[in-house]
Amino acid sequence: MVFSSNVFLFLFLPVFLGLYYISGNRYRNLLLLVASYIFYAWWRVDFLALFAGVTLWNYWIGLKVGAAGVRTKPAQRWLLLGVGVDLCILGYFKYANFGVDSLNAIMTSMGLEPFILTHVLLPIGISFYIFESISYIIDVYRGDTPATRNLIDFAAFVAIFPHLIAGPVLRFKDLVDQFNNRTHTLDKFSEGCTRFMQGFIKKVFIADTLAVVADHCFALQNPTTGDAWLGALAYTAQLYFDFSGYSDMAIGLGLMMGFRFMENFKQPYISQSITEFWRRWHISLSTWLRDYLYITLGGNRKGTFNTYRNLFLTMLLGGLWHGANFTYIIWGAWHGLWLAIERALGLDTNPQRFNPVKWAFTFLLVVVGWVIFRAENLHVAARMYGAMFSFGDWQLSELNRAQLTGLQVATLIVAYLTLAFFGLRDFYRNATPAQAPRTPVQINTDGSIGLDWTRVMTRALVLLLFVASVLKLSAQSYSPFLYFQF
């Protein structure tokens, strides 16, 4: 089941929210757990057993680590066992096919018989719930959170359906208090509805429209320079609006249930360095990699060379996390290389002024990286890069012109205007003192009720676009979120 589906919008969500709000606080976490398991089992019931098994395993390991004591040798042994099993499960389901295929390619080239392995199906969301489970037992080991004895709360944390399939990557220590005591207000519910609708619009109106352009350009066998750059720019916008749209919907659903999740995107395409980009893009993953991988490797505590090595290895493994393909490994290495270079140059990664040259160079690096991230294999990536940097024919090929519609062109323009407007607004807003958030309804000093008409009209526009998006969704074919595959 996905958020952008009629089954979720008109059946699952209203039934769940109705039951959620008529049940008492005592039963809401249990209801959330049951609903999340139904949500996951809608895809495949058999993988629900694996999901529940991973949850029980890490719950038990957390108890053992907690009982052994913070940072003790026995606790370390339990931690290594827990992390080892988690990584073996992730490794088998995510990388077994890749490993056997790579080995068979080598064996075939040597004239040997290849291994036969039944294709291993990748469970949806396994990377996310494995990472969240690992972070929990590490936090218990470090003493950042006590081991919970409440199995329902822990299982609900791992399974909570708003973030289950594609993040954000949450941490138990950040949500444990909300599981025990969270508020449910009309303002929070209204904020959640608005946030959900914004994400839905991003996904259905923009990302799904641009997906057709990107898919077609990357499928061309002989793309021109214009074709290749059009495909790269279309995918750059598609990925952001698709993934940030999902995160908006997840955060919005959490607010409807009284939870406040961390932000996952902060206008990343306004960044003026790759270091700043990773502070703004997929924040929950980048902070996870920093806290549980980069710091574990030694961070910047063991000399300059080791700092650069740790940055590079962190991003290399971060690329591998995205999937079993050499394209993801190279993409991770690309970002790791630039992070190390920026650290070596002492680059200002928290700029107070907007420098168009730095921004343009950073954006170019990001777009170039997205090409190999999107490519099915190295051959497709090489074909796209060859066309992009041959600087030959900037005209679109006849095949591309025949497929491209006015709506797609207009959507691409609107997407980048939206990115520019909200990116610059975010940059200059951060340079001024923060103001208290406003709500559409204000109580005046004389006790009368006033309306913030700007915010009222904005929310009315969001509602109108949401309704239009639902109509568009009903008329189009199924389009999954891009990060489901990770």
Residue numbers annotated as active site: 322
d(CA 139, CA 172): 9
255 Cβ neighbours under 8 A, 6+ residues apart: 188, 189, 191, 192, 195
Helix (H, G, I), strand (E, B) or coil at 442: strand
With the C-alpha atoms ordered 280, 286, 290, 291, is the resulting torsion angle positive or negative? positive
d(CA 327, CA 384): 13
Q: Which residues pair with 451 in a beta bridge?
A: 441
199 Cβ neighbours under 8 A, 6+ residues apart: 3, 244, 245, 246, 247, 248, 249, 250, 251, 252
Task: Residue 473: name the closest of 1, 9, 41, 40 by CA.
Answer: 9
Query: Any idea what the Cα angle at residue 199 is, between residues 420 and 263, rounded to 5°?
Result: 75
Question: How far is CA 90 from each of CA 29, 127, 156, 163, 331, rounded to the nearest angstrom?
Answer: 27, 7, 20, 18, 20
Contact predicate 194/462, CB 8 Å? yes
